[in-house]
Structure 1
Amino acid sequence: MFTLVEGVLTITCDRATYERAGLPGTPIPDPHARKHGTPKFKIELNLRLPSMLAGKKGFERLLHAAKSAFVGQMTWLFHDISSDLSTPDTSLGENVEIKQTTAQTEELKEIIIPPFPTDDADVSKSNQDDVTDLLEWLSLAAISSPRIEQGDLVDEIISRYSVPNTSTSATSTTQTLTKITYTGFLPNTVIADIFAKLVIAANKSWFAILVQGFDGDKGVVVLKTQDQRALCWDLEG
């Protein structure tokens, strides 16, 4: 995986590619990796340094890596927050395809909604399993899973999932949910604006927002409940 932000090129690759590239990098720690799993490496190069000018040592090393390790055709996705899409931009070549990020809306009908935590006891250390179950339910809602639909009759051999009861003072309800999905590069200012508008629009209701990076990168989930409480989860890749 390649990312280029503020002139810094970051390359994530496996050990074999890393060794062929011959570029300085560091292993990426993975606490969930198996004992004999394949580690990944991260290479960071500041392309704005004088050593990255054509003909310089740094540039030549990167050029060698591109020819020996990072071979084949690649499609790059660029996001320029200062660009004006009203006029065509050919600075990256004639084959550049400009796409605008638009919202995809989907209605999820007859969804079983678990009771959300209503006091500190519901989210205490002794009830962390319930909080984890709630995160699992939110993840299933995010992918429109039929497992959380009222009347789901999947064979128990395939799935034994059931919507959790995560509160001691309430029961599950059935609602129609609206799922809005944005796919693409989103600056944190855009995400903050979406979140602020949701807080205002859902003043007496609940909502959840999930933000996920590319290629299984880190993410965050925020659940705002009817009683103005907020639960947050940090997701590791």
Structure 2
Amino acid sequence: MLDFPAGTKHEAKCNVTYGTMGHLDPKQPPVKRKPFAAILNHSFVQKVDLILPEELYKIIGDSISTEFVKPIYSRVILPLKALVEGEFFNEYIKKGNILMLSEGRAGVDNVYSLKEGILTLHLDKESYERAGLVGKPEGVKGKRGTKPRWVVEINLRLPSMLHGKKGFDRIVYAFKNVLTTPVTWLFHDLRPTAITPDPLDGHFPAKKTASPRVSQPIKVKMPVIKPPTDADSLYGADFDDYAIDVQEWLSLVLLESPRVNSDDNIDPFLSRYVPPGDSFTNSKLIKVTWQGFLSPSWVHKTFVQMLLCVPQDEWFACCVVGFGDGPLGESKAYTILKLPDATKEFVLWEVA
């Protein structure tokens, strides 16, 4: 058979941006320019890692533990019909602002999500046809080995979304007669103060707090992490190599791989990896991790707090991973590296 190259249109790609953050107003932090826009473009976040030098952590560690907000989220079992009934519908969807994500494997199971009042249903063909809702095909068209799937988006904040309206009653009917299976949800209320009484309490949620976990000091061979600055004909190729090498090194630090350890002496027959660059310094790094059902707005606020409390000559990296909510189960991720000895310069890697 002929070995034709596979198409890369639907494969994950990494976009790299090198720039300056500009002025940072603590009262009105930016939201439309990078890297801040990349943070808010995520729908749901499951893990945030901060990588920073041990010396820097000794300075700001107490602030991270005491001043940074600890996100609170819940795990609860609900059928879809509970979202459009009673006080839950009125308080959380019509008036409030919540994030919800159901269990299930994207691209295989029926998976539901709710953000900014928009309920998104990822359905298999049978469920879609039985529900009678209007949607559109999802995923790669005509790909062999994949079953057809559909996605339905319902804006529950529209004025027409009221009981007694024909379109809304059709949705309620589908939830009561077709999509009836209760599923486990992750639930996050974005309002600063909780509702009293809480409509969620009747479903007996398990509340959880995402507290920061601090790693033991990681001994590393510290490379030069500043990008090349020579604007010659080879600059583009040099920056490509820099972006790939530093991203790989940061990924190994996240994994606490022994390959980046300053004492690593593995046989080169087993691993030929060396940190990027020609000169290294022995250093110790700290990794601070939050894991759970986190909101992009919380990540944005945490990143701004880090920028405000970190001296300009220091560096840190913020690594964020989303849930596997793509049509093929892929998840979005990005890494923001605040460069040392630079006035708010950054490098941003976006994988999507």
Shorter-chain TM band: 0.7 to 0.9
How far 1:208 moved relative to its partner? 0.4
| 1:51 and 1:58 in contact (8 A); partners too | yes
| Aligned partner of 1:49 among 142, 145, 158 | 158
Q: Which runs of 5+ in 1 are unaligned?
A: none
Between the two proteins, the alignment pairs up a number of residues equal to 227
1:107 to 210, 216, 222: 216
Report what 2:27 is aligned to.
none
CA-atom RMSD in angstroms: 3.5
Listed one character per residue, the Cα deviations across residues 111-152 of structure 1 (whole Å, up to 9, x for unaligned) are: 233321343349942131331221122223223333322344
Give yes or no for the alignment of 1:77 onto 2:193.
no
Q: Structure 1 109/219 Cα, relative in aligned 2: closer, same or farther at 3 Å?
A: closer
**1:213 equivalent in alignment to 2:213:** no
Which residue does 2:246 correspond to in 1? 134
Q: Structure 1: how far apart are the matches of 2:265 and 2:145?
A: 37
C-alpha deviation, 1:17, in angstroms: 5.1
Encode CA deviations 1:52-84: one digit per residue, 9 max, x unaligned.
43453444345426654x454312222222243
**Equivalences for residues 1-237 of structure 1 within 5 A:** 1-13=111-123, 18=128, 21-28=131-138, 36=144, 38=146, 41-49=150-158, 52-54=161-163, 56-61=166-171, 63-64=173-174, 67-68=177-178, 70=179, 72-84=181-193, 89-94=197-202, 95-121=204-230, 124-127=235-238, 128-152=240-264, 160=271, 162-165=273-276, 167=277, 171-183=279-291, 184-188=293-297, 190-199=298-307, 200-215=309-324, 216-228=330-342, 229-236=345-352
Q: Which amino acid aligns with 2:228?
A: D
Q: Confirm or deny: 8 A CA contact 1:113 1:173 kept in the other structure.
A: yes
SS at match of 1:193: helix
- Percent of counterpart pairs with the same letter? 30
What is the alpha-carbon distance in structure 1 between the residues aligned to residue 223 and residue 138 of structure 2? 37
Structure 1 window deviating more from structure 2 (117-126 vs 91-100): it is 117-126
Greater RCO, 1 or 2 (C-alpha within 8 Å, sep 6+): 2
| CA positional deviation for 1:14 | 5.2
Per-residue CA deviation, residues 72-108 of structure 1 (Å, 9 max, x unaligned), is 43122222222435x8753113302222332121124
SS in 2 for 1:132: helix
The one-letter code of the counterpart of 1:144 is E
Between Structure 1 and Structure 2, the one with more strand by share is 2
Structure 1: distance between partners of 2:331 and 2:287: 22
Q: What residue is the counterpart of 2:63 in the other structure?
A: none
Distance 2:116 2:313 in 1: 41
Change (3 A) 1:205 1:83: closer
TM value normalised by structure 1:
0.75
- Counterpart residue identity of residue 24, structure 1: V
